[in-house]
């Protein structure tokens, strides 16, 4: 049976922290691939100069292009609206019954699992994989495969702030993603010529 990891997120924008998580879990568990699944975010969560769902998807495609075994899933973006993990994974397991899914979450999410929608059913659909994150406990009574990874305290919020303040994002996001952000004028960014790259 094919083993596929799912790493969900808004990826607004995707950064090297996301890629490290996906790649480390793939190799640690011997997965065939890890799909980065960008969520569809409702309009009230966006800010001026923010990326659309389609732009976030494009950035993820650019981010994973050079990393072997990482792919992109447009499943939730194409479906639109707010997506519960249970609904997404129920549909995916029905569409691809011969795949063993591994759903990857960070320590902050592990702590919140008891509040997840239909969590008791969800743990029967997927294998949960937990990775540590700085400042989180990451303990749960639910079945969980823990994977030790190099931790980096990096967030999409920090990246957006760097762009709006004309700060450096070099080595924090893939160059192709930075070029796309500047070309599209996202997050209050300026052009590459005027950047502190």
H or E stretch at 62: helix 53-64
Number of domains in the chain: 1
Token pair belonging to 114: 């008891």
Report pLDDT digits (tens) over 145-179.
Answer: 999 998 888 999 999 999 999 999 999 999 999 99
Cis peptide before 67 (omega within 30 of 0): no
The answer as to whether 37 is a domain residue is: yes
Residue 81 has a pLDDT of 81
Residue 138 has a pLDDT of 72
Whole-structure pTM value: 0.90
3-state class (DSSP) for residue 90? helix
For residue 161, the tally of other CB atoms under 10 A from its CB is 13
The answer as to whether 188 is a domain residue is: no
Q: H helices of 96-155, where?
A: 107-112, 119-125
Token pair belonging to 77: 């973006």
Query: Is the alpha carbon torsion for 1, 97, 10, 111 positive or negative?
Result: negative
The answer as to whether 184 is a domain residue is: no
The answer as to whether 17 is a domain residue is: yes
The answer as to whether 183 is a domain residue is: no
Instruction: Find the CATH number of the domain harbouring 70.
Output: 3.40.50.620
The answer as to whether 180 is a domain residue is: no
**Distance in angstroms (rounded) separating the CA atoms of residues 147 and 21:** 9
Task: Give the range of the structural domain holding residue 60, as residue numbers without chain letter.
Answer: 2-153
The answer as to whether 148 is a domain residue is: yes
- Cβ atoms of 125 and 144 closer than 8 Å: no
Residue 111 has a pLDDT of 84
Report pLDDT digits (tens) over 44-93.
Answer: 455 667 899 999 999 999 999 989 999 999 999 998 888 789 999 999 99
């Amino acid at each position: 049976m094919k083993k596929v990891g799912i790493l969900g997120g808004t990826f607004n924008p995707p950064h090297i922290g996301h890629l490290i998580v996906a790649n480390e879990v793939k190799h640690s568990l011997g997965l065939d691939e890890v799909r980065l699944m960008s969520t569809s975010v409702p309009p009230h969560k966006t800010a001026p100069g923010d990326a659309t769902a389609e732009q976030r998807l494009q950035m993820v495609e650019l981010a994973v292009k050079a990393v072997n075994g990482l792919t992109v899933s447009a499943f939730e973006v194409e479906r639109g609206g707010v997506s519960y993990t249970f609904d997404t994974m129920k549909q995916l397991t029905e569409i691809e019954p011969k795949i063993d899914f591994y759903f990857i979450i960070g320590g902050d999410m592990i702590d919140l699992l008891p509040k997840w929608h239909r969590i008791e059913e969800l743990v029967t659909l997927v294998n949960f994989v937990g990775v540590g994150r700085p400042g989180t406990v990451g303990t749960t009574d639910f079945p969980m495969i823990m994977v030790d990874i190099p931790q980096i305290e990096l967030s999409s919020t920090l990246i957006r702030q760097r762009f709006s303040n004309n700060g450096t994002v070099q080595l924090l996001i893939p160059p192709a993603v930075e070029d796309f952000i500047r070309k599209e004028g996202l997050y209050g960014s300026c052009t590459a010529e005027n950047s502190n790259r």
